[in-house]
Amino acid sequence: MTDTSAPGREPDPAAPLGVAVVGAGYWGPNLVRNFQSSPRFRLRWLCDLDVARAQRVLGGYSTVRATSDYAAVLADPSVDAVAVATPAGTHLDIALAALRAGKHVLVEKPLAATYADGARLVAEAEERGLTLMCDHTYCYTPAVGRIRELVRSGELGEIHFVDSIRINLGLVQKDIDVMWDLAPHDLSILDFILPDNVEPVAVAAHGADPIGAGQACVAYLTLQLNTGAIAHVHVNWLSPVKVRTTMVGGAKRTLIWDDLNPAQRVAIFDRGVDLAAPQEIGADERRDMLISYRSGDMIAPAIGEKEALRSMVDEFADAIRERRAPLTDGRAGLRVLDILEAASRSLEFRGAVVGLRAGR
């Protein structure tokens, strides 16, 4: 990021940041609640095409203004930042207008409908020295924050595999497939926890539409990492049971995160396979290698409880104030879009391996 003082209004460091939320549908009310409860922000506007819906979200006694006039929101000098909670296809126009008006921008996942659109937003924000943040909500849960620490500290050892399952009897979307609906969560978590020198380099995807919905309702993504490790994501709208688990296997330990188990969200297992070999061994002698199985303790670290959106809102404020890139910045959103677009191409070619753009 560059200097965030231009061209937007320089926020008073002692005053809350003025913010407007655009979109009063499914996710907008959650943002409204968290911005209103944060001392770091002052919610100025809730903008929606349906003003009556926006007024219902705000309640009868709110002093926050409801409007359908987005131009009026952007013209308000008390608005330092805009949070976009509208369909992905509208993200480019709404976020671009906000950046050009000198506002910092928070965008719901995915960052945009296409990689090209997302790249335009990133370039605009960087050119103007403004904060562009993607609300990858799960990255701000206490559990994922702890997993990031464990992976990046080396406590698990070199990462061998990641396996993520996100399945339930979900709402079948009309405009996007299950991959674009659910996988952004898992892909953003993967991007968040991996060390800086580890990244996906290719993806293969398989999907099915057994109910004739018009797009894949079940999908499997397999990602190749630059270290030779593998990551796998299973998403499904048709499962009769809800499962939210991620397994991160390392050379030293393996971690399991069960998001639906509040009593033990994260468990670390000192169990695995060790490979021992003679000092000198040829390629033809690999069958003589000695395999040993390690069965040590299981540890369940204490994980605090804090609403992810509250932590996300705090990070947005800190990034603006400190003039730094947020943990889930626009480029993190771009990396997720890169994988999603490559996975869509792979689906078209029946699981062909598709390379990703290089660089984190």
Q: What is the pLDDT of residue 98?
A: 98
Q: What is the pLDDT of residue 308?
A: 95
Residue 175 has phi, psi (to 5 degrees) of: -105, -15
pTM above 0.85, yes or no: yes
139-308+339-355 in CATH: which number? Answer: 3.30.360.10
17-135 in CATH: which number? Answer: 3.40.50.720
Each domain of the chain, given as residue ranges in start order, spans 17-135, 139-308+339-355
Report CA-CA distances (Å) from 198 to 22, 70, 147, 165: 35, 41, 15, 21
Residue 293 corresponds to which tokens in the numbers above?
A: 């199985």
Q: What is the pLDDT of residue 174?
A: 81
pLDDT per residue as tens digits for the range 288-308: 567 666 677 788 888 888 899
Q: What is the pLDDT of residue 263?
A: 87
Q: Is the peptide bond before 301 cis (omega within 30 degrees of 0)?
A: no
> Which regions in the chain score pLDDT beneath 50?
1-8
Contact 221, 153 (CB under 8 A): no
Q: What is the pLDDT of residue 280?
A: 53
